[in-house]
Amino acid sequence: MTFVLQRSIRAALTLWIVVTVVFTATRMSGDPTYHILPPNTPEVKREVLRHQLGLDRPLVTQYVDYLSGLADGDFGHSFFSGRMVTEMYLERLPATLNLALPSLLLAILIGLPIGTIAAVKPNSPVDRGLMALTFVGQAVPNFVLGIVFILLFSLTLRLLPSGGTGSWPHYILPVLTLGIASIASISRLTRSSLLDVLGQDYIRFVRAKGLPPSKVIIKHALRNALLPVLTVIGLQVGTLIGGAVVVEVVFAWPGAGRLLVAAVMQRDFPMLQFGVLAVAATVIIANVFVDVGCGLLDPRIQARAS
Amino acid sequence: MSVHGQLVPEGSRLIALSKRMQSLLQWNHFRRMPALIRMAAVTIVMLCLVAVLAPLLAPYGSGDQDLLVRLQPPVFLGGAWSHPLGTDHLGRDVLSRLLFALRTTLIIASLGVIVGVVTGGLAGLASGLAGRRIDNMFMLLVDAQASVPLTLLALAAVALTGSSPLVLILIVGISEYDKYARVVRSQVLVIKSRTFVESARALGASPLRVAFRHVLPGLVSPLTVLATINFSSVVILESALSFLGVGIQPPNTSLGAMLGEARNYLISNWCLAAIPTAFIVMITMAVSLLGDWLRDLFDRRLSS
Amino acid sequence: MNDRRDAILRVEELHTQFLTSHGPVHAVNGVSFEIRPGETLGLLGESGSGKSTIGLSMLRLLPPGRGRISGGRVLFGGEDLVTASEKRMRRLRGRDIAMIFQESLSALNPVYTIGEQIAEVIRQHERLDRRAAMKRAAEMLEMVGMPDPGRRLGEYPHELSGGMRQRVVIAAALACQPKLLIGDEPTTALDVTVQAQILDLIADIQHRTGMAVLFITHDLGVVAEIAHRAIVLYAGRVVEEADTQSLLARPRMPYTQGLLRSLPQFAKGHRLAAIPGAVPNPRSLPTGCAFHPRCQEAKADCAQTLPALTEAGDGRRVRCLHWHNIAQDMDLRVRA
Amino acid sequence: MNVLRTNQLAASEATTPLPPLLEVANLQKSFPVRHGLLGRPTATLKAVAGVSLQVFPGEIVGLVGESGSGKTTTGRCLLRLVESSAGSIKFDGVDLMGLSARELRRFRRRMQIIFQDPYDSLNERMTIGDLVGEALTIHGLAVGAVRRDRIFELLQQVGLGSEFADRYPHTLSGGQRQRVGIARALAAGPQFLVADEPVSALDLSVQAQILNLLLDIRDRLNVGMLFISHDLSVVRFIADRVLVMYLGKIVESAPAAALYERAAHPYTQALLSAAPFVGEGQPRQRIRLLGDLPSPVDPPTGCVFRTRCPSATAECSANEPPMRPVGPNHFAACIHLTAS
Amino acid sequence: MLRPIRFAMLAAGMCLASVQFAVAEDLIVGMQEVRPLFDPAIETGNTGIPLSNAIFDTLIRRDFQADGKGTGGELVPALAESWRRVDDHTLEVKLRAGSTFHNGDPLTSKDVKFTFDRILDPKSQYGRSQFQYENIARVETPDDLTVRIVTKKPDPTIEMMLTFPASSIVPKDYFEKVGFDAFGQKPIGAGPYRFVQSIDDDRVILEAFPQYWQGKPPADKLVFREIPDLSARITALANGEVGIINNVTPDQIPAIETLGCCDVRSVMANSQVLNYRTSNPVMADKRFRQGLNLAIDRELLSKALWNGKAEVLHSHQYAEWGDLYNAERPKFAYDPERARELIAQSGYKGEEIDFITSPVYYTNGLAAAEAIVSMWQKIGVNAKVQVNENFYEISNDDPGIEVRNLSDWADLPDPNVTIMWSWTTTALWDGNEAFQELGRKAATTLDKKERFSLYQKVLDNFEDQAPGTVLYRVPDFYGVRHDIKWQPYTNYVMDFRPGNFAVGAGQ
Q: Which residues of D171-185 are buried (b: 16+ CB within 10 A; e: fewer)?
A: ebbbbbbbbbbbbbb
Average pLDDT over residues D211-215: 93
CA distance E43 to chain A (A): 12
Does the structure show a pLDDT above 80 at D17?
no
Sorted by where each begins, the domain ranges of chain A are 85-305
Q: Which among E457, E499, E18 is positioned nearest to E213, based on CA atoms?
A: E499
3-class state of residue D233 by DSSP = helix
- The minimal CB distance from A157 to the residues E13, E200, E225 is found for E13
CATH (residue range A85-305): 1.10.3720.10
Query: Does the beta-carbon distance from A13 to B292 stay under 8 Å?
Result: no
Query: Does the beta-carbon distance from B159 to A15 stay under 8 Å?
Result: no
* E297 C-beta neighbours (distance < 10 Å), count: 19
Query: Does the beta-carbon distance from B150 to A275 stay under 8 Å?
Result: no
More confident residue, E66 or E389: E66
Helix (H) or strand (E) holding C12: strand C9-20
Average pLDDT over residues D134-162: 90
Round to whole Å and give the CA distance between E278 and E431: 8
Are C160 and C151 in contact by the 8 Å Cβ rule? The answer is no
Round to whole Å and give the CA distance between D42 and B28: 53
Best probe of the D interface among B199, B208, B219, by most D CBs < 10 A, is B199
Round to whole Å and give the CA distance between D226 and D242: 10
Chain E residues lying within 8 Å of B267, measured CB to CB: 231, 234-235, 252, 255
Radius of gyration of chain D (CA): 21
Query: Does the beta-carbon distance from B67 to E359 stay under 8 Å?
Result: no
CA distance C313 to chain D (A): 21
Predicted local confidence at residue C268, as pLDDT: 62
Chain B residues lying within 8 Å of A280, measured CB to CB: 144, 147-148
CA triple D49-D54-D60, angle to 5 deg: 110
Q: Does residue C78 fall inside a structural domain?
A: no
Helix (H) or strand (E) holding E465: helix E448-465
Sorting pLDDT into bands at 50, 70 and 90, what band is E17? very low
Predicted local confidence at residue D340, as pLDDT: 44
- The minimal CB distance from D39 to the residues B4, B132, B199 is found for B132
Query: Does the beta-carbon distance from B144 to A242 stay under 8 Å?
Result: no
Chain D residues lying within 8 Å of C196, measured CB to CB: 273-276, 286, 288-289
Does the structure show a pLDDT above 90 at D252?
yes
- Please tell me if residue E6 touches chain A, with a CB cutoff of 8 Å: yes
Predicted local confidence at residue A303, as pLDDT: 67
The question of ipTM being above 0.90 is answered as no
3-state SS, E294-321, equals: HCCCHHHHHHHHHCCCCECCCCCCCHHH
Predicted local confidence at residue D183, as pLDDT: 94
Report DSSP state, residue C286: P
Q: Return the biggest CA–CA distance within chain C.
A: 67
Residue range E291-332, pLDDT digits in tens = 999 999 999 999 888 888 999 999 999 988 888 999 999 999
Q: Does residue C45 fall inside a structural domain?
A: no
Predicted local confidence at residue E336, as pLDDT: 94
Does the structure show a pLDDT above 60 at E21?
no
3-class state of residue E47 by DSSP = coil
Does the structure show a pLDDT above 70 at E23?
no
Predicted local confidence at residue A156, as pLDDT: 82
Average pLDDT over residues D221-250: 92
Q: Note whether E touches D: 3 CB pairs or more under 8 A.
A: no
Chain C residues lying within 8 Å of D205, measured CB to CB: 46, 258-259, 262, 274-275, 278-279, 294
Q: Which residues face E147 on adjacent strands? A: E93
Residues of chain A with pLDDT under 70: 1, 29-30, 32, 34-42, 302-306
Round to whole Å and give the CA distance between B196 and A260: 51
Q: Which of A32-36, D116-120, E171-175 has the highest mean pLDDT?
A: E171-175
Burial class (CB in 10 A: 0-12, 13-18, 19+), E408: buried
The pairs formed by B56-59 with CB atoms below 8 angstroms and a separation of 24 or more are B57/B99, B58/B93, B58/B95, B58/B96, B58/B99, B58/B100, B59/B84, B59/B93, B59/B95, B59/B96
Residues 269-288 of B with CB under 8 A from E: 269-270
Radius of gyration of chain A (CA): 24
Sorting pLDDT into bands at 50, 70 and 90, what band is B17? very low
Q: Which among A278, A193, A280 is positioned nearest to A230, based on CA atoms?
A: A193
- Last residue of a domain, which of C177, C192, C225? C177
Angle between helices D128-138 and D144-157 (to 10 degrees): 120
- Last residue of a domain, which of C119, C147, C177? C177
Average pLDDT over residues E155-169: 90
Report the Cα–Cα distance between both ends of chain D, in Å, rounded: 24
What phi and psi values does residue A50 have, to the nearest 5 degrees? -55, -40
- What stretches of D44-143 show up as alpha helix (H) in DSSP? 71-78, 101-107, 128-138
Residues of chain C with pLDDT under 50: 1-5, 335-336
Round to whole Å and give the CA distance between D248 and D267: 14
Round to whole Å and give the CA distance between B136 and B147: 16
**Which range is least confidently modeled, A93-107, B290-304, D162-176, E231-245?**
B290-304
Does the structure show a pLDDT above 80 at B199?
yes
Q: Does residue C76 fall inside a structural domain?
A: no
Round to whole Å and give the CA distance between D187 and D113: 11
Chain A CA closest to residue B136: A10
Report DSSP state, residue B123: H
Round to whole Å and give the CA distance between C116 and C105: 17
Domain holding C134, by residue range, is 107-177
By 3-state DSSP, what share of chain D in percent is helix, strand and coil, each rounded to 5? 35, 25, 45
Q: Does residue C115 fall inside a structural domain?
A: yes
Residue range D155-206, pLDDT digits in tens = 999 999 888 998 888 888 888 999 999 999 999 899 999 999 998 888 888 8
Q: Does residue C14 fall inside a structural domain?
A: no
Q: Does residue C261 fall inside a structural domain?
A: yes
- Please tell me if residue A44 touches chain E, with a CB cutoff of 8 Å: no
More confident residue, A1 or E409: E409
Q: Which residues face C20 on adjacent strands? A: C23
Query: Does the beta-carbon distance from B195 to D109 stay under 8 Å?
Result: no
Amino acid at B254: S
- Please tell me if residue A256 touches chain E, with a CB cutoff of 8 Å: no
Q: For chains A and B, what is the number of CB pairs under 8 angstroms?
A: 119
More confident residue, E387 or C126: C126
3-class state of residue E498 by DSSP = coil
Round to whole Å and give the CA distance between D169 and D147: 20
Round to whole Å and give the CA distance between B230 and B183: 12
* D9 C-beta neighbours (distance < 10 Å), count: 20
Best probe of the B interface among E300, E387, E390, E398, by most B CBs < 10 A, is E387
Q: Beta-strand (E) ranges in E37-113?
A: 60-63, 74-77, 80-87, 90-95
Round to whole Å and give the CA distance between E457 and E440: 12
Residue range B22-52, pLDDT digits in tens = 554 455 555 667 788 888 888 889 999 998 8
Q: Does residue C165 fall inside a structural domain?
A: yes
Sorting pLDDT into bands at 50, 70 and 90, what band is E18? very low
Residues 290-319 of D with CB under 8 A from B: none
Chain C CA closest to residue D283: C225
Q: Note whether E touches C: 3 CB pairs or more under 8 A.
A: no
- What stretches of B162-215 show up as alpha helix (H) in DSSP? 165-174, 177-193, 195-202, 207-209
By 3-state DSSP, what share of chain A in percent is helix, strand and coil, each rounded to 5? 80, 0, 20
Round to whole Å and give the CA distance between A260 and A35: 16
CA triple A245-A248-A254, angle to 5 deg: 115
3-state SS, E144-185, equals: CCEEEEEECCCCCCHHHHCCCHHHCCCCHHHHHHHHHHHHHH
Best probe of the D interface among C104, C191, C271, C332, by most D CBs < 10 A, is C191
Q: Which among E11, E258, E3, E303 is positioned nearest to B78, based on CA atoms?
A: E3
Find how far residue C76's CA is from the centre of its chain.
Answer: 16
For chain C, give the percent of residues with pLDDT over 90.
35
- Last residue of a domain, which of C157, C177, C197? C177
Query: Does the beta-carbon distance from B71 to E251 stay under 8 Å?
Result: yes
- The minimal CB distance from A261 to the residues B140, B155, B277 is found for B155
Are C34 and C238 in contact by the 8 Å Cβ rule? The answer is no
The total number of structural domains in chain C stands at 2
- Do the bridges between strand C317-318 and strand E146-151 make them parallel or antiparallel, or are there none, so unpaired? unpaired
Chain D residues lying within 8 Å of B132, measured CB to CB: 35, 39
Predicted local confidence at residue C188, as pLDDT: 84
Sorting pLDDT into bands at 50, 70 and 90, what band is D244? very high
Query: Does the beta-carbon distance from A157 to E229 stay under 8 Å?
Result: no
Chain D residues lying within 8 Å of C279, measured CB to CB: 173, 203, 205-206
Predicted local confidence at residue E381, as pLDDT: 92
Residue range B145-198, pLDDT digits in tens = 888 887 888 888 777 777 778 888 888 888 778 888 888 888 888 888 888 999
- Please tell me if residue B295 touches chain D, with a CB cutoff of 8 Å: no
Q: Does residue C140 fall inside a structural domain?
A: yes
Residue range B54-81, pLDDT digits in tens = 888 888 887 777 777 788 888 888 878 8
- Please tell me if residue E230 touches chain B, with a CB cutoff of 8 Å: yes
Round to whole Å and give the CA distance between E237 and E246: 10
Report DSSP state, residue D87: E
Round to whole Å and give the CA distance between A47 and A37: 11
CA distance C93 to chain D (A): 30
Mean pLDDT of chain E: 85
Query: Does the beta-carbon distance from E236 to A162 stay under 8 Å?
Result: yes
- Please tell me if residue B270 touches chain A, with a CB cutoff of 8 Å: yes
Round to whole Å and give the CA distance between E459 and E454: 9
Round to whole Å and give the CA distance between D287 and D289: 6
Residues with Cβ within 8 Å of residue C2, at least 6 apart in sequence: C315
